[in-house]
Amino acid sequence: MLSIIVPCLNEEASIPLFYEEMLKMLAQLNAQAEFIFVDDGSKDNTLSVLREIAEKDECVHYISLSRNFGKEAAMLAGLHKACGQFAVTMDADMQDPPSLIPQMLEAVASGEYDCAGTRRVSRKGEPFIRSFFARRFYAVMKLFSDIEIVDGARDFRLMNKAYLDALLTLQERNRFSKGIFPWLGFKTKWFEYENVERTAGHTKWSFWNLLWYSFDGIVAFSSKPLAIASILGILLFLVSISLIIFIVVRKIMWGDPVDGWASTICIILFCSGVQLFSVGVLGQYMAKTYTEVKCRPNYLIREQQ
């Protein structure tokens, strides 16, 4: 059996279309499947749409979270509920083509791979500035983190039970799945596809959301920023020592008084900037540690079926 996990935030318009398409695909595939829709604190009629579908079709289950916990938490809630031999996570907006599922399932069911991942090879239809920063993000991640984060990898993934069980052993609150999946290891087969624009509704990610998400990712999967802060400190220390020696020698040899306070102010500003930056970096890691230490659940369920 295949468990299909779909996080939904304000997707009342997309869910019926998605469900229809999936049924068509499943009929061709001739496989047993269960749907697990996760309503991530939607403000529209998503929940009633889900209730309606679940009423008619006993293969459809839904989980309604107590508020919006974010896509990562919603996917986790669905994965915890999955009973199938295989599980697939996908978006409700048809940006993850159901037509890829048969090939993905074949790859994983053959036993050769544990997981089938997908990546977008184009970003057609996406605002230029977003694509630009997305590319920069992958470049920075490559530089900073020890794990390999695949450019354009989507959350559209099909996995077997062993992979799913391994995934569920990770207890962290700061779940950055783009990093968690490669961290897990296992054998992954990649499928590529062109970007598809969403069928209905609109994206939940603003530019700023994405920017914060990328900072989270860096903090979650790399401690290099901490090292960079230390190296900056050491470099500045060396520069200041050399300058002191230079000024003292100049004073002794030529009796040249040091003039100009503008330069002094610049240096003070520069150094306090670097200090604040380093304290900020440290703070980011502390904040993440704080959320982990509190051990709050990743999500809370209000209603499920």
How many chain residues interact with Mg ion (CB under 5 A)?
4
Enumerate residues 174-203 that contact Mg ion by CB under 5 A.
Answer: 198
| Interface region with ligand UDP, contact rule CB under 6 A, candidates 169-177, 188-196, 203-211, 261-269 | 203-211
Q: Which is nearer to ligand UDP, 34 or 91 (CB)?
A: 91
Q: Does 93 bind Mg ion (CB under 5 A)?
A: yes
Q: Does 107 bind ligand UDP (CB under 6 A)?
A: no
- Report the alpha-carbon distance of residue 60 to residue 80 in Å, rounded: 15
Write out the two tokens for 247: 């000024």
Q: Does 95 bind Mg ion (CB under 5 A)?
A: yes
Q: Residue 164's binding partner, choosing from Mg ion, ligand UDP, none, with beta-carbon cut-off 5 to 8 A by kind?
A: none
In the complex, the smallest distance separating the C-beta of residue 93 from Mg ion, rounded to whole angstroms, is 4
Q: Does 205 bind ligand UDP (CB under 6 A)?
A: yes
What are the residues facing 35 on neighbouring strands?
4, 60
Q: Is 115 helix (H, G, I), strand (E, B) or coil?
A: strand
* Residues 11 and 38: beta-carbon distance below 8 Å: no
Which of 15, 74, 77, 153 is close enough to bind ligand UDP by CB under 6 A? Answer: 74
What string marks each residue from 21 to 60 as x (binds ligand UDP by CB under 6 A) or -?
Answer: -------------------x--------------------
Which among 67, 38, 11 is positioned nearest to 304, based on CA atoms? Answer: 38
What does the DSSP 8-state code read for residue 300? -
DSSP H or E run through 156: strand 153-160
SS (H, E, C) 249-266: HHHHHHCCCCCCCHHHHH
Q: Does 11 bind ligand UDP (CB under 6 A)?
A: yes
Which among 173, 193, 183, 198 is positioned nearest to 92, based on CA atoms? Answer: 198
Q: Which is nearer to ligand UDP, 78 or 225 (CB)?
A: 78
Q: Is 189 helix (H, G, I), strand (E, B) or coil?
A: strand
Q: Does 8 bind ligand UDP (CB under 6 A)?
A: yes
Q: Does 80 bind ligand UDP (CB under 6 A)?
A: no
* Residues 96 and 69: beta-carbon distance below 8 Å: no
Residues that bind ligand UDP (CB under 6 A): 7-9, 11, 40, 68, 70-71, 74, 91-93, 95, 198, 203-205
